[in-house]
Amino acid sequence: MAEPFSIPIRVYIEDTDAGGIVYYVNYLKYMERARTEFVRSLGYDKPAMPQQGLLLVVHSAEVQYRRSAWLDDALRATAAIGKLGRAAVTFEQKIWRNDEIICEAVVKVACVAEDSRKPCALPESIYSALKAAC
């Protein structure tokens, strides 16, 4: 299995509550950045494909919070493909502080038609790129 894609994250004051702890929803934002940059690294500049009338949307997310991140922490967000289907991809994602996992999630992203919002097959080029990255 390939090493997960990874990006650095710095915790800023805008990410925290009054006590300096990262607000829970921001972990999902960090994961979104990691998925977006992962897809960008495969040659796709945008997570949506409006020129093809398609969108990639989060279908579901199962998140486990293990530890809190704090103001000014240096974190790392990872994204790896857990399961690839014709119309959806499931990512296994983690937020790390040093060698400790502080948050992890399984995020399913579906391909939908922009006009109807109904599921449809991933374009062959993206499917092939994702399959090669598994």
Catalytic residues: 17
SS (H, E, C) the chain: CCCCEEEEEECCHHHECCCCEECCHHHHHHHHHHHHHHHHHCCCCCCCEHHHCEEEEEEEEEEEECCCCECCCEEEEEEEEEEECCCEEEEEEEEEECCEEEEEEEEEEEEEECCCCCECCCCHHHHHHHHHHC
pLDDT in tens, 7-22: 999 999 999 999 999 9
pLDDT, position 87: 96
State the CATH architecture for 5-133. Answer: Roll (3.10)
Residue extents of the structural domains in the chain: 5-133
| Mean per-residue pLDDT pooled into runs of 10, the chain (134 residues) | 89 96 97 95 74 88 98 98 97 98 98 93 92 91
